[in-house]
Amino acid sequence: MTEAGNERLVRSLDPAERLEHVLDLLLGAGRTLTRSENLSDALSYIADSVATNFADYCEIECAPSAGDEVRVSAGTMPPNFDKAGSMTQHLNDGRRTFGTLRCVTGSPDGFTDVVRKAVKILATEVGVVLAARAMTQREHRVADRLQRALLPEKLPALDGTQFFAAYRPASDEAEVGGDWFDAFALPNGRVAVSVGDVAGHGLEAAVIMGEVRQAIRTAAVAAESASAVLDYVNRIVLLRQSLGIVTALFAIYDPATGELRYACAGHPPPLLALANGPVRALPAGSLPLGCRDELQSREWTFTIPERAHMVFYTDGLVENDRDLIGGERRLLDTVRQLLCEAGASDEERSDPALALQERIFARVSNRDDAAVLVLSRTAPVPYYVFSAVPVVAALSRAIVAERLDRLGIEGERRFGILVALGEAVANAIEHAYRDADPGPIRLELTDEGKHFVLCVEDFGRWRPFVRREERGRGIEMMHAFMDRVQIQSTRASTRIVLKAAYGS
pLDDT at site 4? 47
Class of domain 391-501: alpha beta
Q: pLDDT tens digits, residue range 60-103?
A: 999 877 667 888 898 889 887 888 889 999 998 878 889 999 99
CATH 3.30.450.40 assigned to 5-143 = yes
Selected residue with higher pLDDT from 176 and 33? 33
| Residue 183 CA: distances (Å) to CA of 152, 297, 405 | 8, 20, 34
pLDDT at site 1? 43
For residues 140 and 173, give the distance between their C-alpha atoms in angstroms, rounded to a whole number: 9
Q: pLDDT tens digits, residue range 251-291?
A: 999 999 999 999 999 999 999 999 888 899 999 988 999 88
DSSP state of 495: E
Q: pLDDT tens digits, residue range 447-486?
A: 888 899 999 999 988 765 555 544 557 889 999 999 999 9
Cα 403–Cα 409–Cα 410 angle in degrees, nearest 5: 115
pLDDT at site 435? 78
Helix or strand run (H / E) with residue 62? strand 57-65
Q: pLDDT tens digits, residue range 83-93?
A: 888 999 999 88
DSSP state of 452: E
Class of domain 152-377: alpha beta
**Segments making up each domain of the chain, as ranges:** 5-143, 152-377, 391-501
Point out the least confidently predicted range of 13-27, 63-77, 195-209, 282-296.
13-27
Burial of residue 367 (CB within 10 Å: 0-12, 13-18, 19+) is: middle
